[in-house]
Structure 1
């Protein structure tokens, strides 16, 4: 499962970088306005906000990250702790995070999202670390056919 999550995150990061590299900007066309909104849950009452650095976020979770992407637009690390497996992505600016989330929405999934950072893991693991990190849990819908019940 972790390998599939890691491959999906790597593909998403690649798509985000491609989107950033090929963006022309200036368009007022908002294609996302017609799509359904993502499901968002509120941040914990404690109001804790993690800094946008992979190593610090990993430390708050209780793991040491292995950095696998170190680019101008984002840094991404994977780590394993007693709590679970995580992919931590940080961004130098909110606009890069928003582009990354737009690209990730194609695949769907559940993410813990903060200011200039995103953590990917199983939803129950994200709920467990939200008290340390803050942020909101976002459920991205994904594209394509929905799985049928068999």
Structure 2
């Protein structure tokens, strides 16, 4: 059955108003938003120092991932500890170490989490809407599998070299 063309103001036909055309127009509207996102290089990160290389040749994944996907790439099956609106967190238990994988539905929740974690200091592997908390010596091997950057967060209070 042939489709009727919809008419807009002034009697003009609207060829993209229904069906496949609407999907194409919607896709084109989202494309600039997706490509305009930067890695946050212009933002102040409270003392975080990213590592120089952030490629993940083994992972081949650039989109935000689920806890289970990240866990699989690191060689474990995560046990979900937190299932909340702002984050999901899974615990990985391996012979080498235990570590946490935290994912976020939006980048702003990840940044809030990192701001809170900066009170404690330490190193974290940080990607697009995810963070891995592990022993510092494990983060570099995870980075080669997952991508992301290793961030050193400044803690509050005295440091070991303080009198």
**TM-score, normalising length from structure 1?**
0.70
Q: Is the aligned partner of 1:127 residue 2:137?
A: no
- Determine the structure 1 residue equivalent to 2:6: none
Distance in structure 2 (CA, Å) of the matches to 1:87 and 1:44: 21
SS of equivalent to 2:120: coil
Alignment check: 8 A CA contact 1:48 1:131 kept: no
Could you say which structure has the greater relative contact order, defined with CA pairs below 8 angstroms and 6 or more residues apart? 1
Q: Is the aligned partner of 1:44 residue 2:52?
A: no
- Determine the structure 1 residue equivalent to 2:30: none
TM-superposed deviation, 1:37: 2.5
Distance in structure 2 (CA, Å) of the matches to 1:44 and 1:83: 24
- What does residue range 10-89 of structure 1 map to in structure 2 within 5 Å? 37-41=47-51, 42-44=53-55, 46=57, 48-49=60-61, 51-89=64-102
Q: State the aligned residue count.
A: 118
- Determine the structure 2 residue equivalent to 1:143: 156
**TM-score, normalising length from structure 2?**
0.65
TM-superposed deviation, 1:49: 3.5
Unaligned runs of 5+ in 1: 1-31
Calculate the aligned-residue CA RMSD, in Å: 2.4
TM-superposed deviation, 1:40: 1.2
TM-superposed deviation, 1:39: 1.6
Distance in structure 2 (CA, Å) of the matches to 1:48 and 1:83: 24
- Determine the structure 1 residue equivalent to 2:19: none
Alignment check: 8 A CA contact 2:56 2:148 kept: no
